[in-house]
Amino acid sequence: MRVDGDVGWRGRPAVGGTSGCAHLGELLDVRPLSGVCEACAAGALTWQALLLCRTCGYVGCSDDSRGLHARRHYEWVDHPIVSALGGRGDRGWCYADAMALELPLLRP
Q: Which of 53, 59, 85, 106 binds Zn ion (CB under 5 A)?
A: 53
CB neighbour burial string for 63-100, b if at least 16 within 10 angstroms, e if fewer: eebebbbbbebbeeeebbbbbbbeeebeebbbbeeeee
Q: Could you give the string, one character per residue 10-49, with x where binding to Zn ion holds by CB under 5 A and - elsewhere? A: -----------x-x-------------x-xx---------
Q: What is the largest CA-CA distance in the chain?
A: 62
> What's the rounded Cα separation, in Å, for the pair 51 and 15?
29
Residue 5 or 17 having the CB closest to Zn ion: 17
Residue type, 52: L
**Binding segment for Zn ion among 6-14, 25-33, 62-70, 82-90 (CB under 5 A)?**
62-70
**Binding segment for Zn ion among 1-9, 10-18, 28-36, 86-94 (CB under 5 A)?**
86-94
Q: Per CB under 5 A, does 100 bind Zn ion?
A: no
